[in-house]
Amino acid sequence: MAKLFVLLVIILGVIALAQLMRVYELSSKLTNKKENEISNRDNRLNAKLMLGFMLFLFIGFIWMMLKYGWTGRGPAASVHGEQTDWLLNLNFVIIILVFFLTNALLFVFAWKYVKKPGVPAFYYPHNNKLEMVWTVIPAVVLAVIIILGLNSWNEVTDKAKDDAIRVELFSYQFNWNARYAGVDNQLGKYDYKLNDDAANPLALMTTETIDKAIENMITGPNGIEDLENKLNDPKKVYSEEMRTDMEESLARKEQLIRLLYQMKARNTGKYDKRAKDDIITDTLYLCKDQNYELTFRSKDVIHSAYIPHLRTQMNTVPGAITRFKVTPNMTTQEMREIKNDEDFNFILMCNKICGGAHYNMNMVVVVMEKEEYDVWMKGEWKKMDGEKRLMKRGKIHEATFEHTYYKKEPTKTYPEIQAEKAEAEAAKAKEAEGEDGEEPTDGGDVVDNEDGQTT
Amino acid sequence: MGAVAHEAHGHHDDHGHHEESFVSKYIFSQDHKMIGKQFLMTAVFMGVVAMLLSILFRIQLAWPGEESEFLSFFLGDQWAPNGVLSEDMYLGLVTIHGTIMVFFLLTGGLSGTFSNLLIPLQVGARDMASGFLNMLSYWFFFISSVLMFVSLFVETGPAMAGWTIYPPLSALPTAVQGSGLGMTLWLFSMSIFIASSLIGSLNYIVTVLNLRTKGMSMTRLPLTVWAFFVTAILGVLSFPVLLSAAVLLMMDRMAGTSFYLSDIIVQGEMLTQHGGSPLLYQHLFWFLGHPEVYIVLLPALGLSSEIISTNSRKPIFGYRAMIGSILAIGFLSFIVWGHHMFVTGMNPFLGSVFVFTTLLIAIPSAVKVFNYITTLWKGSIVYTPAMLFAIGLVSTFITGGVTGIILADSALDIAIHDTYFVVAHFHIVMGMSAVLGMFAGVYHWFPKMYGKMMNTRLGYAHFWITLIGAYGVFFPMHFVGLAGAPRRYYDYSVYETFDGDTFEMIMDLNVIVTIFAIIAALGQILFLFNFFYSIFRGPKAPQNPWRSNTLEWTTPVEHIHGNWPGELPTVHRWPYDYSKPGQEEDFVPQTVPLAEGEEEH
Ligand code: HEM
Ligand SMILES: [Cu+2]
Ligand SMILES: [Cu+2]
């Protein structure tokens, strides 16, 4: 019904417009007006609108700059990020000047040189000197931009320092894990064929995981034997589609198992240690002023690790390793104070389209002071069982790590927030009228739901 | 089309008299003017579809999770259960919106319409070099449009991997449902589109090189033709690379090859593909992708050069520098593609090279802008609707171009790549500029296409709504992007979990953007109405309504086969003799011989 009504309104609207056009046509026939002859009045009107539009554009821009600042991300929280921001600001100054200057020239000319009866246009086909000037000036400015930019780029993409801690960020639809290299600061080897969602989600390579993978591939659910049995069972009837799926899956597994046997044959157990002390978490904990070499890996499709506050971004590419070095120089707590927001957290968001829940693929990033970080790290070590404890540096102290960084679930939709805001304002207005002295309550208590860390 | 239908009979031209059937005249026409109009009609339809799709997902972004009758009306229960857009369909809408806008509206529509219409008319040829191939080019375009449109109605949805369809996402139906049949249709549609574009481009190139009339040297060509010419060359050199990218992707999808796939586990299933590289696809894609953005933009710049010069009643400033910049842009556009890949893991040294070449391209772009501005200086500007749109184009070209300088700086791109800042950049510099240029072209050459005049007042209203609406949509996106908001997010509730203030800012701006988008979209009704109404009922056009110099205005208003009755015109001068001192009128058509002692320019 409502749709019908809307349709009706649209049709009526078009008919009305058509009638208006008829009237317009008749009247322009009477006055002998031609569409291609623009009256002076129309010319002047549009010229003024050009100037008006320029003001709208400029004032709108300045207003937004004042209201929103030019980066809603807050100050950079990493060493190279400060450099980035400095350069970004410099470039912004340049391009904003160019933006104002050239747009102003354009619109002012558009306004000023509108046709005036009796004043002919100035025949001015070219001027080589002038053209030279505006080729050379941009070239010089760009040269400066290029040199500064490349300097900075070289620094950012340079090799990590020797003391950098290695952390791997592992991505999959639709979540992230962090893997710390452990005491030896060497990340264990991996091979995607060793993946076991429950026991070895990051597909690390040790003698045991190879054996386990072979076993799973053969005898596990939907393993080779299982599939063969299903396919050969005369009592079971499958749809055409299911059958082909199963056959294809079986063919793949038969191929993969050969590769696994090869891997087993080549394996000497030499790298087991490297993998065994790796720590896996689902929050990225970093230590302030510590150099890090982050490497990135993907299980399925391309994702991108974007940490806006650290000015860090790198794609994760299936079948390849990518890297990025970063040195955080501000703790979460410090940023909370700057932002004056007790709930603030650094965050890593997926920034490459990767499927339906792309928008929901993120990981909290926590930057801590050294002392706090050490306590956390020791707690992680302790959680590992005895055999995995390969620490050479001293004993593990009893350590408990209590933190307030947690991953909140989004609780409110935007309309709800708007409604709340409106309510709060209404309450304030009421208060201002002095009707009652009751304090507006906001939010209620924050629930402290510590996230369990998987190891 | 009315005028054509009634008045085209009984024409007398070199080809002699032959009756045309309805089919050969309107459907399988080989006449470049009709083919141009066919391209335009198809593109207008596709453009309306793509615009509607964008309104659908903008509603979700501004009012996430709110029930909307509008959404359930268009998307039904499957894609908008309870009137809330589904996550998957959000990606589907974004993907098809981008694809249609870039390829079908701004490549097929813009080049197809105006190259076809204007190249023969402005170089003084009776038709394209090959009328048959030209017809084929349109029908391929038509088929690919139909396929792309149909893919919206597939049960598993249209392609959902973004308009750049990066594999592995686009290769694995289990990763996202749109990578099933929807993606297959996308790939077939685009392959046919590429064939269409290639045939068309080859035709344009041959026509410009071989069929220029007597006296029409390359340096007397209008800048429109120069722009179409270079655009066609870009297309011929780059589209085949996209085709190969698409073919390899099809093989990965259907034949189990591993060009782009390596070591993947998706939905619990371990794939055997090993050794492929997703980056290979990105290189191939952007090798087309970057020239493509100039394929979109150059024709728009060409059209506006012509329009600005005509309506300022002044020669275009620095004609040779303009040609030089078109050539420089064309050349450079082939060696900058890596700026889309700074953070993909590409070798950083390679990144530095692309920084350098990308920033070089800003120089010819700047030259063009300054030349436009100088053309206006001391002009005698007549505000036809086309002129308004052309000036709008220069403004958006500036506004969008300057942010390119930030993005081209790889060190800065790290912080803003794939955020709304990029979305703002390319919508302003490419989307808006090209769309404004296309509108300018339609208003300016409508009399040539249909023999009728469009309504000027409606044109004014349309322009101002469009300019304000579009700036209102895309300008705030810079701020959203600088706050770090990633693009292609279904909603931004994640911000609420870590930074409430920024969340509110993003949401405020998203509402503003959507409201402007709706205003701008409604504004297009004015255009559609004006366009179709004028085709049938507009006042008859005079032969040279804008008092212009180029050859197309020497042809009769009624379309005839072969364009000129009798002999082809002879050209004696460049096309920009406006307000030349010592001349009676403020324009001197190219067919007027130089007076004794007159210098060419
Ligand atoms: C001054 C000249 C320009 C420079 C330096 C420049 C630079 C860039 C850079 C570096 C990017 C990649 C940004 C990123 O993904 O992080 C980009 C994106 C883009 N640019 Fe430009 N640009 C310029 C002009 C243009 C023009 C004239 C057009 C179109 C006609 C254009 C269209 C695009 C498009 C479509 C994208 C985004 C593609 C995507 O990721 O979906 N740019 N530009
Ligand atoms: Cu992702
Ligand atoms: Cu590009």
Residue B264 lies in a domain: no
| Band of residue B498 on the pLDDT scale cut at 50, 70, 90 | confident
How do residues A191-239 score in pLDDT, each as one tens digit?
999 988 888 889 999 998 999 999 999 998 888 999 999 888 888 888 8
Q: How far apart are CA B515 and CA A24, in angstroms?
A: 31
Domain hosting residue A73, numbered range: 39-116+129-158
Nearest Cα of chain B lies from the Cα of A393 at a distance, in angstroms, of 35
pLDDT, residue A455, reads 32
Residue A98 lies in a domain: yes
Residue B589 lies in a domain: no
- Strand locations in B269-335, DSSP E? 269-270
How do residues B175-190 score in pLDDT, each as one tens digit?
999 999 999 999 999 9
User: Looking at the DSSP assignment, which residues form a beta bridge with residue A284?
Assistant: A365
- Strand locations in A271-340, DSSP E? 279-281, 284-287, 292-298, 303-307, 312-316, 322-326
How do residues A75-99 score in pLDDT, each as one tens digit?
899 999 999 999 999 999 999 999 9
Closest listed residue to residue B543, CA positions, set B526, B528, B527, B565: B565
* Tokens 């350590």 sit on residue: A399
User: Percent of chain B having pLDDT more than 90?
Assistant: 77
How do residues A338-373 score in pLDDT, each as one tens digit?
888 888 889 999 999 999 899 989 999 999 998 888
The three-state secondary structure class of A300 is: coil
Q: Report the mean per-residue pLDDT for chain B.
A: 90
Residue B515 lies in a domain: yes
ipTM for this model: 0.92
How do residues B547-575 score in pLDDT, each as one tens digit?
999 999 999 988 888 888 888 999 999 99
Residue A446 has pLDDT above 80, yes or no: no
Residue A324 lies in a domain: no
Whole-model pTM?
Answer: 0.90
| Band of residue A390 on the pLDDT scale cut at 50, 70, 90 | very low
CB contact under 8 A, A107 and B405: no
Residue A163 lies in a domain: no
Q: How far apart are CA B84 and CA B66, in angstroms?
A: 6
Residues of A in contact with B537 (CB under 8 A): 21, 25
Nearest Cα of chain A lies from the Cα of B455 at a distance, in angstroms, of 6
How do residues B243-266 score in pLDDT, each as one tens digit?
999 999 999 999 989 999 999 999
pLDDT, residue A398, reads 43
H-run or E-run covering A364: strand A362-368
SS3 of B205-231: HHHHHHCCCCCCCHHHCCHHHHHHHHH
Q: What is the CATH classification number for the domain harbouring B402? A: 1.20.210.10
pLDDT, residue A412, reads 66
| Band of residue B17 on the pLDDT scale cut at 50, 70, 90 | very low
Which of B66, B403, B409, B474 should be substituted to probe chain A, the one whose Cβ sees the most A Cβ atoms within 10 Å? Answer: B409
Pairing of strands A165-172, A292-298: parallel
How do residues A109-149 score in pLDDT, each as one tens digit?
999 999 988 888 888 888 888 888 888 999 999 999 999 99
| Band of residue B30 on the pLDDT scale cut at 50, 70, 90 | confident
Mean pLDDT for the stretch of residues A385-399: 41
- Strand locations in A71-184, DSSP E? 165-172, 175-180
Residue A344 lies in a domain: no
pLDDT, residue A386, reads 44
pLDDT, residue A18, reads 79
Mean pLDDT for the stretch of residues B495-517: 90
Mean pLDDT for the stretch of residues B13-40: 74
Residue B224 has pLDDT above 90, yes or no: yes
Nearest Cα of chain B lies from the Cα of A367 at a distance, in angstroms, of 14
Is the CB of residue A214 less than 8 Å from the CB of residue A264? Answer: yes
Number of domains in chain B: 1
Residue A19 lies in a domain: no
Residue B10 has pLDDT above 70, yes or no: no
How do residues A26-81 score in pLDDT, each as one tens digit?
777 767 777 778 888 889 999 999 999 999 999 999 999 998 876 668 889 999 99
User: Percent of chain A having pLDDT more than 70?
Assistant: 86
Number of domains in chain A: 1
Residue A46 lies in a domain: yes
Is the CB of residue B590 less than 8 Å from the CB of residue B212? Answer: no
Mean pLDDT for the stretch of residues A287-313: 94
Residue B26 lies in a domain: no
Mean pLDDT for the stretch of residues B33-61: 94
Residues of B in contact with A414 (CB under 8 A): 63-65, 507
Residue B365 lies in a domain: yes
Residue B368 lies in a domain: yes
Q: Give the mutation target among B91, B106, B407 for probing the ligand 1 site: most ligand atoms within 8 A of CB.
A: B407
How do residues B286-300 score in pLDDT, each as one tens digit?
999 999 999 999 999
Domain hosting residue B546, numbered range: 38-258+278-554
Residue A164 has pLDDT above 50, yes or no: yes
| Band of residue B21 on the pLDDT scale cut at 50, 70, 90 | confident
pLDDT, residue B244, reads 95
User: Looking at the DSSP assignment, which residues form a beta bridge with residue A296?
Assistant: A169, A322
Residue B597 lies in a domain: no
Residue A438 has pLDDT above 60, yes or no: no
| B377 and chain A in contact, CB less than 8 A | yes
The three-state secondary structure class of A127 is: coil
Residue A391 lies in a domain: no
Q: In terms of pLDDT, which residue wins out, A410 or B1?
A: A410
* Tokens, residue A304: 């991108």
